[in-house]
Amino acid sequence: MLSALEQYDPQIFELLTQEKARQSGSIRMIASENYVSKAVMQATGSCLTNKYAEGYPGKRYYEGQQVTDLIETIAIDRAKKVFGADHANVQSYSGSVANVAAYSTLINPGDMIMGLSLVNGGHLTHGWKASFTSKVYNSVQYSVDPQTGLFDYGQIEEFAKKHRPKIIISGATAYPRQIDFEIFGEIAKRVGAYHVSDIAHISGLVVAGIHKSPVPYADIVSTTTHKTLRGPRGGMLLCKAEHAAAMDRAVFPGLQGGPHMHTVTAIAVALAEADTPEFVQYARQIVANAKRLGEKLMEHGFNLVSGGTDNHLLLIDLRNKGVAGKKFAKALDRARIVTNYNTVPGDTAPPFNPSGVRLGTPAVTTRGMKEPEMEMIAGFFKRVIEHIDDESVIEQVARESLLLCSRFPVPDHFIIPRDGSHGAGRD
Ligand code: DSN
């Protein structure tokens, strides 16, 4: 029987089928991507896509909220529980909007924000020059140490003392080590700044207790919900009680109209999944996989920023290889390994053709791959870099990648047990 989509729009159906095959037949190592569970996928594609719900539970501007109020309240309560936060807002459309909402909760246009620069691993919305955030706010940007690739907290404090920002942003999109949020919080206090922490990449690791949480040390914490947290594409904010009302106003009506209730619903589901021993085990394996991958890559002569990783991502600095990041990432893609090219600390190459590639283990770990598979993948990286202009080798690696993928089918039907009684967690 034809599905509704197949029947109504065969062209889009065919393209979705191709994308499903691509996700299934490639080793997906974009550090911000994952595979969601069947339950999250169902909630995302549910009837809540049909509902408008401006406002918050108990105070809406549209009627018909008998169900949405209950669902959003559950999502908020689950977020507060798993992150140990006083207050949560689950309506942000994305991490970018969540960050802007955090800033607008605390400061006014023209005030100064201080974030990690994009080329050092920060996000666009941390005040990068191309971002709206640097136009609305007066942005100053700190860096990592170009030699070690690490935060130099002493230098960050000096920088903060010099500029006296109103907000200091901690968190990154390409930093492979633990971040000391407590120190960021202390620096912010000492210069009279608010502390906003963006844990979009690591929120799943934070929930699992594997990465230190910024919640006790930050005024507001923002995150996406789809990376290591393995929920739908969306954003979320957590804050101390004193900022709760202002933060909710900043999201709605400050920045957004109607929340995407299908996404809020799926966030609720993902948070239930994250609150299980299985998820903690998953998060541990993400890090174990990243560490093993890093060790093997270094054995194969790759330089890693900071010499390894504490989290889910790795940054390969290709400057010793004489191969640009884009060329390597494109060759890897032909070999069925999907990464993104990325700047590395001290990079003089532009962000669109930088000197590194970023890779992460959340998606391959969801597929069930473990350390032996990481060793195989590191071997694929070696062969691709050594034969970057030899398509026959790249094609051979692509065949082996596909074989590896076939041993670890895409778990688009996996289920996280809520009571630990359903065995391996897949149906
Ligand atoms: N674009 C995301 C990432 O890949 O890290 C950050 O928003």
| Tens of pLDDT, residues 33-82 | 999 999 999 999 999 999 999 999 999 999 999 999 999 999 999 999 99
The identity of residue 351, as a single letter, is P
Q: Is residue 422 part of a domain?
A: no
Q: Is residue 5 part of a domain?
A: no
Residue 186 alpha carbon to ligand 1 centre in Å:
27
The helix/strand/coil state of 10 is: helix
Q: How far is CA 104 from CA 136, 217, 249, in A?
A: 10, 19, 10
| Per-residue model confidence as pLDDT tens digits over 280-322 | 999 999 999 999 999 999 999 999 999 999 999 999 999 999 9
- Same domain for 182 and 58: yes
Q: Is residue 179 part of a domain?
A: yes
Residue nearest to atom 4 of ligand 1 (CA): 32
- Same domain for 60 and 196: yes
Which atom of ligand 1 is least distant from the CA of 30? 4
- Same domain for 75 and 105: yes
Band (pLDDT 50/70/90 cuts) for residue 413 is low
| Per-residue model confidence as pLDDT tens digits over 215-227 | 999 999 999 999 9
Q: Are the C-beta atoms of 254 and 104 separated by less than 8 Å?
A: yes
| Separation between Cα atoms, residue 235 and residue 383, nearest integer Å | 38
pLDDT at 88: 98
- Same domain for 262 and 190: yes
Cβ count within 10 A of residue 254:
14
Q: Is residue 403 part of a domain?
A: yes
- Same domain for 288 and 225: no
Q: Is residue 413 part of a domain?
A: no
Q: Who lines ligand 1 at CB under 6 A?
A: 32, 95, 123, 173
Does pLDDT of 122 surpass 60?
A: yes
Q: Is residue 163 part of a domain?
A: yes
Domain boundary among 274, 308, 335: 274
- Same domain for 340 and 366: yes
- Same domain for 142 and 286: no
- Same domain for 296 and 234: no
Does pLDDT of 421 surpass 90?
A: no
| Separation between Cα atoms, residue 26 and residue 364, nearest integer Å | 10
- Establish how many alpha carbons lie within 13 A of residue 6's alpha carbon, considering only the half-sphere containing its beta carbon: 5
Cβ count within 10 A of residue 14:
11
The domain that contains 379 carries what CATH number?
A: 3.90.1150.10
Q: Is residue 417 part of a domain?
A: no
- Same domain for 250 and 164: yes
Band (pLDDT 50/70/90 cuts) for residue 423 is very low
pLDDT at 411: 76
- Same domain for 188 and 83: yes
Domain boundary among 221, 243, 274: 274
The domain that contains 263 carries what CATH number?
A: 3.40.640.10
- Per DSSP, helices labelled H in 61-141 are 66-83, 95-106, 132-136
Query: What would the DSSP string read from start to end of 246-258?
Result: HHHHIIIIII-SS
Domain that holds residue 58: 51-274
- Same domain for 190 and 134: yes
Residue 31 alpha carbon to ligand 1 centre in Å:
8
Domain boundary among 274, 308, 324: 274
- Average pLDDT estimate for 319-348: 96
| Per-residue model confidence as pLDDT tens digits over 160-169 | 999 999 999 9
User: CA angle, 374 as apex, 273 and 285 as ends, to 5°?
Assistant: 25
| Per-residue model confidence as pLDDT tens digits over 227-283 | 999 999 999 999 999 999 999 999 999 999 999 999 999 999 999 999 999 999 999
| Per-residue model confidence as pLDDT tens digits over 123-137 | 999 999 999 999 999
Q: Is residue 44 part of a domain?
A: no
| Separation between Cα atoms, residue 252 and residue 334, nearest integer Å | 44
Q: Quote the pTM value.
A: 0.95
Residue 217 alpha carbon to ligand 1 centre in Å:
24
| Separation between Cα atoms, residue 155 and residue 90, nearest integer Å | 35
Residue 201 alpha carbon to ligand 1 centre in Å:
8
Looking at the chain, the whole-number percentage of residues with pLDDT higher than 90 is 94
Which atom of ligand 1 is least distant from the CA of 340? 4
- Same domain for 255 and 317: no
Average pLDDT, the chain: 95
Residue nearest to atom 2 of ligand 1 (CA): 32
- Among the residue ranges 127-136, 343-352, 387-396, the one predicted with the least confidence is 343-352
Domain count, the chain: 2
User: CA angle, 301 as apex, 383 and 392 as ends, to 5°?
Assistant: 10
| Separation between Cα atoms, residue 185 and residue 214, nearest integer Å | 8
| Separation between Cα atoms, residue 349 and residue 363, nearest integer Å | 29
Q: Pairing relation of β-strands 235-239 and 55-56?
A: unpaired
Ligand 1 pocket test: pick from 173, 228, 229, 314 the residue with the most ligand atoms within 8 Å of its Cβ.
173
pLDDT at 418: 73
| Separation between Cα atoms, residue 49 and residue 203, nearest integer Å | 25
Looking at the chain, the whole-number percentage of residues with pLDDT higher than 70 is 97
